Structure 1
Amino acid sequence: MSHTAHIPSHRKPRRSSSKLALRAGVAGGVLSTIAVAGAAGPAQAEPVTDTIEMPTLNGDLSTNLSSAVAASAEATQQIALDTELQALEDASAAKAAKEAKQAKQEAERKAEAERKAAEKARAEARERANRTSERTTLSASASATVSDSGRDSDEGGSYDSAPATGSAAAIVAFARAQVGDAYVMGGTGPNSWDCSGLVQAAYRQAGIDLPRVSGAQSSMGTSVSLDNLQPGDILYWGSRSNSYHVAIYVGGGQFVGAQNPGTGVVERSLDYDAPSGAVRLL
């Protein structure tokens, strides 16, 4: 190989000045852009440090607000009280109306009951009057057939023929008017009787007050024979002053008495249930 032969150089080829200038301009532009971006970046990321101040309430505004709240609460409470009071008034009015209606119905019921009772009493009085009239007629007919001094052979007793007069008539009339009433132990009228209750009430028509029980009633007055009875005499069963039953002799051999719960007040012949004795108070 020749010493003059060309040996390639290992150095980089030289660049032209124009290319170098172009490259330097480009690099400078890039660096400027980066510098601008870097300068702008921190400014945008800077945190906000400003604070918002809330308005403060001065003394007058605070007082007015408190007054308004208190007034609103008071108004609400008053409305609640008014509502409760109205409810109570409505309930009281409803209760009063209900009670008034019930009282009216009760008064009407009582008035109707009293009206029916009065009608029943009038009907019973008419019926008793009719029975009394019929019995008086029958008694008068029977008395006419009885001897004044002798014992009637059919009746087996000596009976008066004269009608009752004066106090005896009042006693007899009252006793006969109760015929048909119920017998109730301890009854003293006006529609139910026991034996001594009826005798006591009958004698009260003549202004005579008798004891309440039969034993005491039979101990009153004067003892008389059953052959010499007069209307108004008290008949008794058992021993005198210890009798267990009493009735009123009404004349014509008949007596009226509150016998028992099965018969009630009846008028019967002495032979129906012969008494033990009799007493006279008139």
Structure 2
Amino acid sequence: MDEPLVPLVPMSHTAHIRSHRKPRRNAPSLAMRAGVASGVIGTLAVAAAAGSASAAEPVAQTMELPTLTADLATQVAESADATQQAAADYQLQAERDAAAAKAAKQAKADLADAKKAEAKKKAEAARKAAAAEAVSRSSARTALSASASTSTNVAAPASGNVSTVIAFLKAQVGDAYVMGGTGPNAWDCSGLVQAAFKQVGVDLPRVSEAQSTSGTPVSLSNVQVGDILYWGAAGSAYHVGVYIGNGQYLDAANPSKGVVIQDLSGYPATGAVRVL
């Protein structure tokens, strides 16, 4: 079947020229765009409301902020003051500790100096006492020597000779014992006896063996003051001393005792001789 023929409409002479008017948008597109715009506006409104609410809330906080800031400043100031005070207290305590340590050190040094001074004072006193004792002994010996030099065996009575010997012997008490010593401050037994009798002009042998046979032998039951006592056999005695009465004798005993006075009962002699 043949298609119907469409009549040809004659075209305008301006149909080929593009129109400068904006094309119309259809209604659905406009409605959709209006809805989107409305939604955007609503969102902005909600955001603005939320922003207003958010902006309103800090206003109250800002009103209270000066109070909080003032409290914080007070606390900081108080903390600083406390820190400064603690530092000051620490420094003061450190200074006190240093002063106490210095004082203790000074006190210790002063005590040591005082002890040294006291020891020096005692040593000086002991030295002076020893010097005085030495002078005293020297004076006694000088007097005994002078007395002996003015007397002779013939003119002086026996009792005077004996007392001179005993006085000399007692003046040596406390002197040291030294083997081979003959004075004036250290003796052995025979050296002391020889020096004592020399004060009255009696020359005795130097050693104990020979002294034990000098003079006249006497029994121990008849011994008198001034008699020479000996220990060991006559002629070979190993020790001598002088009887001073009351059961006692004086001798240069040994290094530990020196010149002493002892009892015969503690160390009985073997025999005795008389030279005065």
Please classify the TM superposition score into its range, dividing by the shorter chain length: 0.3 to 0.5
Higher helix share: 2
Q: TM-score, normalised by structure 2?
A: 0.45
